[in-house]
Structure 1
Amino acid sequence: MKFYTIIVMILFTCIGTASYAQNSVFQISDGKKDFELRAVAELGFLGVLSHKVQFGENGTYFDYKKSGGQNVLFPVGRVSLELDIKERNTVILLYQPLTIQTQALLTEDVVVNDLTFPANSSVDLLYNFPFYRVSYLRELLPDQERWGLAVGGSVQLRNATITFESTDGERFRTNQDVGVVPALKVRSRYDLSKLLYLELEADGIYAPISYLNGSDNEVKGAILDASIRSGLKVTQDVNAFLNLRYLGGGAEGASDDEPGPGDGYVKNWLNFITVSTGFVYKFN
């Protein structure tokens, strides 16, 4: 219930903020709005295609789907605000909570940052990887009635906490990290009719992180958040949609400021798919 409560609270906050902006900021110029604000919310489920993590050069490359209980479906949701500025520019603020908690009985020894969790023992596993994203898009086809194509970039802030804890409380390891990740962004839309539309959207990058943050260590990382959406225009101000999303990426390398235990080496790669429904509310 806490997960859904957070989503609902954020959504109401977005709507309240948007309503204030509508009444106090929006201006009409030549019969057209200089600004248009939309609130977007979706809820659904997440399935794990593959997910593996390793902490420490001598650590176990742990398979969450095979050995960590991630072979079932998990709730997922996201909320965002989108502000169109003079028709061709769009700024997007997005929050994506992502928490997966499981419990598993280990079939073999698992080493996490120099600590061994023995076979035939049970562990509580937390993979908490919410992120915040700010994006900008520039429309390339402003005069097209049915087609839309926009390109731009995103800056994503991750806030990760990954833990392994024995159910008897005697063994515990955690890895926490806050980091900034830039990405390229593209969005395309096609109106099938006056009521139906298709939309494609992707944020992604693959790069040596050391070049981006100035580190001497060879760290590589990648993200890809890509979706296809089928939408229905319910009213002039409300759209409903069904969304299929691929969410993947990860990082591999050693941190130069890891306090320990362990040597700072981390390898974390994931491939998720989500199915969700949601709505878009446009403030006029």
Structure 2
Amino acid sequence: MHRYQWMAGVVAGLLGMAGAARAEAPRVELRAVAELGFLDVLAHSLREGSDGTIFRFPEDGGQDNLYTFVRLSAELSLRGRHTVVFLVQPLDIQTQGVLRRDVTIDGLTFPENTPLDVRYAFPFYRASYLYDLLGDPERELSVGASLQLRNATFVFTSADGTLRRANRDVGPVPLLKVRVRWPLSRNWWVGLEADGSYAPTAIINGDDDSATEGALLDASLRGGVRITDSVEAFLNLRYLGGGARGTSDDNGEEFGDGFTSNWLSTATVSLGIQYRLPAPD
């Protein structure tokens, strides 16, 4: 009789411990993530107008330096499986140079030896949903989708202000998303994250012209360390690239025939910090 009483006590104790562990696991968790580092333009070309010059930004526009990279995001995790992410990615590169050749942009020719001010701004905002297939607090294999809003501005101005071409474009970009995190020890971990899409038709990439195609890949590899229960730091290596090619009515409202071909490839190195704030039940 005493033996059964002892076994019942052990089982009750184990069940109590499991219940306590479940109670400690947050049903709702809020995370804030910030990255700061530098961006290197690997390749970048733009052609405005079907008869325009292929403008190569590193050679023609002075994009051969390193540029400040900042990324901010907020994540809301529900029941350890569902995560909603909102991301803000500024990207505004302003350079100066002197043209070594004639360059035609949307029907306007900038002659050789023109001092040129160039602005290439491509910030974006992204909302994502992820579902964790593992449901493990230390390991993650999540899949989902993102919707990105591009907000592009391209401006070419002669230094004396007499010549200028500007182009602006706002539109949605749907993406597929995957994220992995794997522990190496109690405090150290590695992970990868990727958002990407290829849109061969305007129906997918949000343009009115069926001949438009676009692509985007935002992929990163990172390694991190847990500093406290709430704070983690990580080193992140990222490839960010993509672009579009086609003819749009929006591009041809003022000058040219609306044709644009814009392709960008960059690499970033950044240090990041994540702060975890459990929300009250």
Same fold? TM cut 0.5: yes
Runs of 4+ in 1 over 4 A off after TM superposition: none
User: Alignment RMSD, CA only?
Assistant: 1.5
Q: Which residue does the alignment assign to 1:65? A: 58
Q: Which residue does the alignment assign to 1:215? A: 208
Q: In the alignment, does 2:48 pair up with 1:55?
A: yes
**Residue among 125, 134, 154 paired with 2:127:** 134
Unmatched tracts of structure 2, length 5 or more: 1-21
Does 66-75 or 88-97 show the bigger shift? 66-75
Q: Which residue does the alignment assign to 1:33? A: 26
Q: Distance in 2 between matches of 1:241 and 1:193?
A: 15
**Residue among 182, 193, 197 paired with 1:201:** 193
SS at match of 2:203: helix
User: Any conservation in 2 of the 1:217–1:255 contact (CA below 8 Å)?
Assistant: no
TM-superposed CA distance for 1:217, in Å, is: 3.1
Unmatched tracts of structure 1, length 5 or more: 1-28
SS at match of 1:211: helix
Q: Which residue does the alignment assign to 1:156? A: 148
Q: Which residue does the alignment assign to 2:113? A: 120
Q: Which residue does the alignment assign to 2:83? A: 90
Q: In the alignment, does 2:181 pair up with 1:186?
A: no
Q: In the alignment, does 2:258 pair up with 1:264?
A: yes
- Percent identity among equivalent residues? 52
Q: Which residue does the alignment assign to 1:274? A: 268
User: Any conservation in 2 of the 1:217–1:256 contact (CA below 8 Å)?
Assistant: no
User: Any conservation in 2 of the 1:139–1:149 contact (CA below 8 Å)?
Assistant: yes
**CA 1:125–1:157 in structure 2 vs 1: closer, same or farther (change >3 Å)?**
same
TM-superposed CA distance for 1:142, in Å, is: 1.4
Q: Which residue does the alignment assign to 1:18? A: none
For each residue in 1:201-247, what CA deviation from the matched residue of structure 2 results, as whole angstroms up to 9, or x when unmatched? 00000012412247343000000000001101011100011100000
User: Any conservation in 2 of the 1:42–1:276 contact (CA below 8 Å)?
Assistant: yes
Q: Which residue does the alignment assign to 2:104? A: 111
SS at match of 1:186: strand
Greater gyration radius = 2
SS at match of 1:77: strand
Q: Distance in 1 between matches of 2:165 and 2:265?
A: 23
Amino acid at match of 1:268: N
Amino acid at match of 1:260: E
Amino acid at match of 1:272: T
Q: Normalized against structure 2, the TM-score is what?
A: 0.88
**CA 1:147–1:112 in structure 2 vs 1: closer, same or farther (change >3 Å)?**
same
Aligned residues: 256
Amino acid at match of 2:60: S
**Residue among 134, 141, 161 paired with 1:169:** 161
User: Any conservation in 1 of the 2:117–2:159 contact (CA below 8 Å)?
Assistant: yes
Q: Which residue does the alignment assign to 1:17? A: none
TM-superposed CA distance for 1:260, in Å, is: 2.1
Q: How does 1:226-237 map to 2 (within 5 A)?
A: 226-237=219-230
User: Any conservation in 1 of the 2:209–2:246 contact (CA below 8 Å)?
Assistant: no
Q: Distance in 2 between matches of 1:274 and 1:136?
A: 24
User: Any conservation in 2 of the 1:160–1:176 contact (CA below 8 Å)?
Assistant: yes
SS at match of 2:219: strand
SS at match of 1:225: strand
Q: Distance in 2 between matches of 1:113 and 1:200?
A: 40
TM-superposed CA distance for 1:82, in Å, is: 0.6
TM-superposed CA distance for 1:146, in Å, is: 5.0
Q: Distance in 1 between matches of 2:80 and 2:210?
A: 43
**CA 1:214–1:225 in structure 2 vs 1: closer, same or farther (change >3 Å)?**
closer
**CA 1:241–1:54 in structure 2 vs 1: closer, same or farther (change >3 Å)?**
same
